[in-house]
Amino acid sequence: MIASPAPAVSDVRPVARRGSRLGGRQRAGYLFVSGYAALLLLFGAAPGGYAIYLAVTGANGNFSGFSNFVSTAKDFRFVPAFEHVGLFLLIWLVVLVVVVLALALMLHGGLRRPGAIFRFLFYIPGALAGSASVLVWLFMLDPTVSPWHFILSAFNFSELAQTIEPNHLPPIFAIIAFWTGAGGWIVIMNGALNNISDEVIDSAKVDGASVWQVALRVKLPLIKKWVVYMCILAFAGGTQLFVEPQLVGEASLGAVSTTWSPNQLAYYMAFQNDNFSYAAAISVDLLVIGLICAALLVFRSKLFEIE
């Protein structure tokens, strides 16, 4: 039997170097993720776990099962609060998806040269904090001082109390949310569109596709996962509505309920009724609703599958 020759040193070194490079990249990846993972555990998972613990225990610390959830669901303010936020989310998400995608496609298609200027203008409202945005819009919605008083007068609004009636709040909050958050999403969607290969778009044009067909049948399907990602985060943020109705309620001098949204109701239960178990139950309700909706979007859109 003839022994096979030993591999040359030059044949082994590249493999070792390649392995060391991969190991270094993995360690660097774990290092970058570790900071986020630690913060997620400290300020996400741990408070969430504590909220679940409070939701299934009574005031004396004994296990109470689902009694807190049943009691909060029977509260006369519970269903209206969720209805208010549900209507707000419906308006907010539809307007967000339609307008953001339309503006992003315009930037990517016919406005590439002035795109940087428009991206800057779109992002300016996002630099304002939520409370500052509400105060700006309270000024804009007051017919006595608003620069758009002639538009408000056309709807027969002569004072702020008429503009911010409870029935008007879902579309008003949707406008505020869009003005504050849409700019950042336009920039993100424009970046996603810029990642589409020019060859794909040119091929569609060569095949005779119009501008609308390219936008609807080529570009939108290729950024579908980004749209789903936007909807998940926008839905999660929308369910946490608190600052806007709280400040508007103070501006309306009691015309708007202090338990208009589920978060306000949870705050009222915790700090007015001193019942943190009820407040935790409402927060867990919001968490479960958000997780279910996110899971449906993720699995229906195959968000994490690599194509």
Confidence of residue 2 (pLDDT cuts 50, 70, 90): very low
Interatomic CA distance for residues 124 and 221, integer angstroms = 29
State what percent of residues in the chain have pLDDT above 70.
84
Interatomic CA distance for residues 91 and 74, integer angstroms = 27
Average pLDDT over residues 184-203: 86
The 3 state secondary structure assigned to the chain is CCCCCCCCHHHHHHHHHHHHHHHHHHHHHHHHHHHHHHHHHHHHHHHHHHHHHHHCECCCCCECCCHHHHHHHHCCCHHHHHHHHHHHHHHHHHHHHHHHHHHHHHHHHCCCCCHHHHHHHHHHHHHCCHHHHHHHHHHHHCCCCCCCHHHHHHCCCCCHHHHCCHHHHHHHHHHHHHHHHHHHHHHHHHHHHHCCCHHHHHHHHHCCCCHHHHHHHHHHHHCHHHHHHHHHHHHHHHHCCCHHHHHHHHHCCCCCCCCCCHHHHHHHHHHCCCCHHHHHHHHHHHHHHHHHHHHHHHHHHCCCCCC
Interatomic CA distance for residues 76 and 81, integer angstroms = 9
Evaluate if residue 112 carries a pLDDT over 60: no
Average pLDDT over residues 13-33: 68
Evaluate if residue 104 carries a pLDDT over 90: no
Rounded to 10 deg, the angle between the 67-74 and 276-301 helix axes is: 90
Evaluate if residue 281 carries a pLDDT over 90: yes
Interatomic CA distance for residues 9 and 175, integer angstroms = 68
pTM above 0.95, yes or no: no
Cβ neighbors of 89 (< 8 A, separation 6 or more) are 235, 238, 239
Q: What is the pLDDT of residue 110?
A: 63
Q: What is the pLDDT of residue 9?
A: 47
Evaluate if residue 16 carries a pLDDT over 70: no
Q: What is the pLDDT of residue 226?
A: 92
Question: For residue 106, which of 211, 228, 184, 207 has the smallest C-alpha distance?
Answer: 211
Evaluate if residue 122 carries a pLDDT over 70: no
Question: What does pLDDT average to over the chain?
Answer: 84
Domains identified in the chain and CATH numbers: 76-301 (1.10.3720.10)
Evaluate if residue 124 carries a pLDDT over 90: no
pLDDT digits (tens, 9 = 90+) for 65-101: 899 999 999 999 999 999 999 999 999 999 999 999 9
